[in-house]
Structure 1
């Protein structure tokens, strides 16, 4: 595994973050505009917004992966969990350990903040990512629904 460093995104990272986030949107076939990316960038730069981000940097300090996450209330458990919304590693850097490092960094933040669970979803056919996820976490038997109001 290469040397991977996890850092919060800073202003100098924005072009690489935009490239990575656009790649993530393309992977999931989501049309995403520059305005949408600007809004999310604003969220992750705003300490008062619940969405946070992390970047994986390679040994040269270049961003090769990203994650966005946020706390969420778990009423049945009377606790707070962490939802890992987005996770993407540049295709050229897959297999570098960046995905695992990003997930482990979010898990460490969750431990530090007393969040008792880190949860995420992925597409059924995202086999390469699922191979990593299956090593790091327990797959649930919950079915997910979306309702557009």
Structure 2
């Protein structure tokens, strides 16, 4: 089951997002955690979050945001963060989280849903290759601030 993040999920969301960041060997300041949490709960923000549940317990998360594109009239949807706990991977939760976002993005409507992953995340790429196509573009990032 997939459901929207709720105010009462703060503790478990923090645990899941911390595990996701650790997977990518990243540490963010507490102010980023606080800001992200606040944005996820603010209906006026263009960013959203959901949890995957197994037996009523959160075992995964997804964050997405909408943004304008010059290549279409409709917005694009960027699936920014996707994480499923290691002990339940392979159970269809990652696919369910992606499909949850895709359903919402289609209804908005969005022109496209896209995401990135690290080239070493080969296990996840097996799923992604079944759901979407690689663009051939190589992402670059210039860090300006956190």
Same structural fold, with TM-score higher than 0.5 when normalized by the shorter chain? yes
Q: Render the CA deviation track for 1:24-65: whole Å, top value 9, x for unaligned.
A: 11011111233322211111011111110011011x211001
Partner residue of 2:12? 16
Which among 97, 121, 124 is matched to residue 126 of structure 1?
121
Distance in structure 2 (CA, Å) of the matches to 1:12 and 1:97: 25
Q: Distance in 1 between matches of 2:105 and 2:91?
A: 23
How many residues are matched? 144
2:99 aligns with: 104
Residue 66, structure 1, aligned to residue 61, structure 2 = yes
In structure 2, relative to structure 1, the CA distance for the partners of 1:128 and 1:16 (3 Å cut) is same
- Normalising by the residue count of structure 2, what TM-score does the alignment of the two structures yield? 0.94
In structure 1, list runs of 5 or more residues that go unmatched. Answer: none
CA distance in 2, matches of 1:61, 1:34: 28
> Relative CO higher for 1 or 2, CA cutoff 8 Å, sep ≥ 6?
1
**TM-align CA RMSD:** 1.1
Counterpart CA distance in 2 for 1:148 and 1:64 is 30
TM-score (ref. length: structure 1): 0.92
Q: Give the gaps of 5 or more residues in structure 2.
A: none
